[in-house]
Amino acid sequence: MNRFESLACLNCGRRYPTDTHTRCTKCNGILEAQYRLDGRFPTDVRGRSMWDFADFLPPIQEKSIVSRAASLGLSLARGLKRKGVFTASDGNAAAAISAYSARARMKCLVLIADDTPTQKLAQIMMYSPILLRVRGIYRSLSSLEAALAQTQEILPDWLNHFIWAPFNPLLVDAFKTIAYEIALSQKVPDCIFIPVAGGDLLSGLYKGFQELQKMGQLQRPPRLVAVQGEGADPTVQAIEKGLDKVKETAPARTIAGALRVNFGAEHSITAVRKSGGFGISVSDEQIVKAQREIARDEGIFCEISSAAALAAISKALDLGKIARDETTAAILTGTGLKDYPVTGDDISRIPISKDVSSLSTTLEGMLAAERIGVAV
């Protein structure tokens, strides 16, 4: 039986219907889905998909597509009888929503930044959504809000599928299933490092662990750490300054494209503080180093924005923010090919044999110098 009750404001508690896509009209707080947490938690599942936890997600009519927030959003759109969905994205969310829209046979419009990486754009285009490049869409929160509002006016029967709690409070619940899977598959870590842009992943994880605790499945939530790139860290700044709101900053600059934001929301601050965590920023150099290290040492080619979480673990150890005997995890949110521009310098560092007859000599020299592959 589905346990969803209603949407409610995190600040004042005012309740709203399921199809609400705004902040609280009374106090401007972020809305959150509320559930009945009595009864048994399904400990016999092993995270085959997030739909194993359907009773702890908003009520929907479709379960044919399987992927966190994009899947949940498309299922909700069909349940609400919307004619299509639209979103704004730097690439990751756009690719997911476009793919699941195609699977659900729904129309999809994507507003993309004019500097979206070619690799991401190619993936989005494969699913044939309606695309519109909008210069300056992420310049400020007000520019993003204006773009989405104008689109909604033109397409009133379409669902705003922008994945961020201030616009879509229900979609955060897709991310809480990650906490469920962590709790069911292994011992919950002492500390989890999470890449943060808008903050939904962080907030969703906290909500999942909090619900597990209320149902007696967890003694205490892990400490959650908000990770951002230096030059694009408004949420980390707010946490470090003890603020209750995230202040908009100067235009963001970081190599981590999916984290290139200059605004945020208070739900991520709340999650960090209530879990006993902290915020930390990492440099471009630290991010690139972490990406190459995990590829070399673990065989994992993660997206550059995901590598920020790994870089933050090393920095936090050096700063004494975590102990070496603590169990620590990082959430890796994307694959490396999504945003990895291979440069001419990368290619030029690969040794070359001038012809087949010279291969033995070249290889022996390489082995002697321990220069197999690209030098790091």
Full 3-state SS string of 248-298: CCCCCCCCCHHHCCCCCCHHHHHHHHHHCCEEEEECHHHHHHHHHHHHHHH
Judge whether 254 and 230 are in contact, CB under 8 Å. yes
pLDDT higher than threshold 70 for residue 325: yes
Structure tokens given for 107: 């129309």
| Res 374: pLDDT | 41
At 124 the three-state DSSP class reads helix
What percent of the chain is helix, strand and coil (3-state, nearest 5)? 40, 15, 45
| Res 119: pLDDT | 75
Structure tokens given for 313: 């673990």
The residue among 136, 272, 261, 114 whose CA lies nearest residue 191 is 272
Q: Higher-confidence residue: 361 or 186? A: 361
Distance CA 42, CA 54 (A): 10
Determine which of 18-22, 28-32, 78-82, 262-266 has the lowest per-residue pLDDT on average.
Answer: 18-22
Q: Higher-confidence residue: 8 or 120? A: 8
Q: Higher-confidence residue: 2 or 4? A: 4
Proportion of the chain above pLDDT 70, given as a percent: 89
| Res 232: pLDDT | 97
Contacting residues for 236 by C-beta, under 8 A, at least 6 apart = 196, 226, 227, 228, 279, 280, 281
Task: Please report, for residues 8, 189, 221, 232, 245, the alpha-carbon distance to residue 269 in angstroms, rounded to integers and kept in the order given.
Answer: 18, 20, 15, 16, 8
| Res 193: pLDDT | 98
> Residue 62's pLDDT band (boundaries 50, 70, 90)?
very low
Task: Please report, for residues 57, 169, 180, 197, the alpha-carbon distance to residue 62 in angstroms, rounded to integers and kept in the order given.
Answer: 12, 19, 21, 29
Amino acid at 185: S
Determine which of 59-68, 96-105, 154-163, 328-337 has the lowest per-residue pLDDT on average.
Answer: 59-68
- Give per-residue pLDDT as tens, 131-180: 998 988 888 899 999 999 999 999 999 988 888 988 888 888 889 989 99
Phi, psi of 183, deg, nearest 5 = -65, -35
pLDDT higher than threshold 60 for residue 183: yes
pTM of this structure: 0.80
pLDDT higher than threshold 60 for residue 65: no
Q: Higher-confidence residue: 103 or 237? A: 237
Mean pLDDT of 47-57: 66
Looking only at the bridges linking them, the beta strands covering 31-35 and 4-9 are: antiparallel
Amino acid at 361: T
Task: Please report, for residues 141, 160, 198, 228, 252, the alpha-carbon distance to residue 249 in angstroms, rounded to integers and kept in the order given.
Answer: 10, 25, 14, 13, 8
- Give per-residue pLDDT as tens, 257-311: 889 999 999 999 999 999 999 999 999 999 999 999 999 999 999 999 999 999 9
Which ranges constitute the DSSP H helices of 115-199? 118-126, 141-154, 172-185
Average pLDDT for the chain: 86
The residue among 361, 172, 357 whose CA lies nearest residue 271 is 172
pLDDT higher than threshold 90 for residue 330: yes
| Res 42: pLDDT | 65
| Res 373: pLDDT | 45
pLDDT higher than threshold 70 for residue 181: yes
Proportion of the chain above pLDDT 90, given as a percent: 51
Q: Higher-confidence residue: 231 or 118? A: 231
Mean pLDDT of 85-99: 86
Residue ranges and CATH numbers for the domains of the chain are 4-160 (3.40.50.1100), 172-339 (3.40.50.1100), 345-376 (no CATH)
Angle made by CA atoms 78, 72, 136, in degrees to the nearest 5: 95
pLDDT higher than threshold 90 for residue 37: no
Distance CA 316, CA 121 (A): 34
Distance CA 173, CA 153 (A): 27
